[in-house]
Amino acid sequence: MKGALKKIAVMMHQAQPEANFAFEFWDGDRVGYGDLSRPGAVTLRLKSPRSAKQIIVNGFLGFGEAYMAGDLDLDGDFQELMRLGICTGFDQLPLSPWQKLLFWVQRLTARSTTNRACQNIAHHYERGDDFYSLYLDPTMTYSCAYFRSPGDSLEQAQRQKYEHIARKLLLKAGERLLDIGCGWGGMLIHAARCHGVNALGNTISRSQYEYVRQKITELNLENKMGVILEDYRSLTGKFDKVVSIGMFEHVGKEFIPVFMRKVNQLLSKGGLGLLHTIAKDAPSASDPWTWKYIFPGGYVPTLDEIVRELGRAGFTILDIENLRQHYARTLDLWAENYEHNVEQVRRMYDDAFVRMWRLYLHCASAEFKYGDLRLYQVLFSKGLNNDLVMTRDHVYAREGSNDL
């Protein structure tokens, strides 16, 4: 097993000869390259032959499980190891035949059907608002922020994201806005308070639903916004604008056409919709560790799938923007907040959970920086609308920024 990992280390060095890293084994043996005293250097310390076997046999799934169990540790920059792994295919080491079968069964049983979707969402989102408040900003926004400048705070960048979306949707007072998968209600609140729309959101997370209801009362927005605890497939009504932020990744591959047809039913003729979602430029292997421990039932679509299914559902694509670097920055700030409060997390759960969530945040950031994850905002209309503005000036103009 040591020999196989040493070969991986050689591959990593060949792919990134300027990198500073080392593998340290349970018996004191080590293989390293570069200057480990330099900032950004990383040492992967494997504490037993079992940890090496897990990596060789089960790839990134084995790496993640060994890290969660404390069978391996890292000294230095966590994301540097992720970068090196992504560059060399370390995260794509093949699963064992048994793990492939198990992964297939898990995916089959966790399909985001109407009955199963609530369980999938609960696995990730029903950990309690107290937990998420430890690393999210005060708006409790759990999606990619929008940074106008590097020094923007997380809260400022999240409010800027909501305004960025509002401008793309050309929100006007009195319009009806639907937010599919509204989370803790940040977009609803911004749209109602800053643009005077009548906003409705849905979620299948009980804790998010209760949180949004409380915020509506606190902010005296009973006449401007509402929230329902309901699956998107059951939604009815007609809306001038529809938005979905960070929810589409939970739909599942086979239900993408279902989602698009439902949006078509809900959106008025000539209305605008915006999909804010993680996606890929081209198909690639799924990450079984993230799927098993973080987002069961999830599926990251390709941009091609999104555009194709929007077209099949009768929509016209108006604009596509890639916010990849914005999401990497968002995740870095979440990870920073997380580490500031890590002892509270440990008291809430245990050390295995602390390690799991740390790996999730850093791995996701590295995938946006160096891997194949993208964050796309796709703006579309229902049918041809010839009354829309013809440039993007209204989106990027600084006027109105005092409302952020």
> Start-end ranges of CATH 3.40.50.150 in the chain?
115-403
pLDDT of residue 344: 98
| pLDDT higher than threshold 70 for residue 378 | yes
What CATH class does 115-403 carry? Answer: alpha beta
What mean pLDDT comes out for the span 214-226?
A: 98
What phi, psi does 11 have (nearest 5°)?
-60, -40
Task: Tell me whether strands 42-46 and 225-229 are parallel, antiparallel or unpaired.
Answer: unpaired
Instruction: Give dist(CA 125, CA 118) in Å, integer.
Output: 10
Q: What is the CATH number of domain 2-94?
A: 3.30.1050.10
**Which range (126-130, 152-156, 258-262, 348-352) has the least confidence?**
126-130
Q: What is the mean pLDDT of residues 208-224?
A: 97
- Residue 404 confidence (pLDDT) above 50: no
- Share above pLDDT 90 across residues of the chain, in percent, rounded to a whole number: 74
Higher pLDDT, 201 or 54: 201
Q: Which two tokens stand for residue 274?
A: 């915006």
Q: Which residue has the higher pLDDT, 12 or 73?
A: 73
101 pLDDT higher than 70: no
Element (H or E) spanning 243, and its range?
Answer: strand 239-245
Point out which residues pair with 120 in neighbouring strands: none
- In which band, very low, low, confident or very high, does the pLDDT at 98 lie, cut at 50, 70 and 90? low
CATH 3.30.1050.10 residue window(s) in the chain:
2-94
Percent helix, strand, coil in the chain, to 5, is 50, 20, 30
Region 23-51: mean pLDDT is 94
- Residue 394: band (very low, low, confident or very high) from pLDDT cuts 50, 70, 90: very high
Give the pLDDT mean for 219-226.
97
Average pLDDT, the chain: 91
Tens digits of residue pLDDT in 342-370: 999 999 999 999 999 999 999 999 999 99
User: Higher-confidence residue: 187 or 289?
Assistant: 187
The DSSP-derived string for 139-170 is T---S----SSTT--HHHHHHHHHHHHHHHTT
Mean pLDDT of 47-69: 91
Q: How confident is the model at residue 323 (pLDDT cuts 50, 70, 90)?
A: very high
Lowest mean pLDDT among 28-37, 58-67, 286-295: 286-295
Sign of torsion over alpha carbons 277, 403, 205, 242: negative
Given a cut of 70, is residue 208 above it in pLDDT?
Answer: yes
pLDDT (mean) for 159-163: 98
In the predicted structure, residue 318 carries a pLDDT above the cut 60: yes
Backbone angles phi, psi at 367, to 5 degrees: -65, -35
> Per the structure block, which two tokens stand in for 402?
């005092």
Q: Find the mean pLDDT for residues 71-78.
A: 93
- The confidence score (pLDDT) of residue 60 equals 87
Where residue 121 falls among pLDDT bands split at 50, 70, 90?
A: low
Query: Helix, strand, or coil here: 295?
Result: coil
Q: Is the confidence at residue 177, as pLDDT, over 70? A: yes
pLDDT of residue 126: 73
Is the pLDDT at 88 greater than 90? The verdict is: no
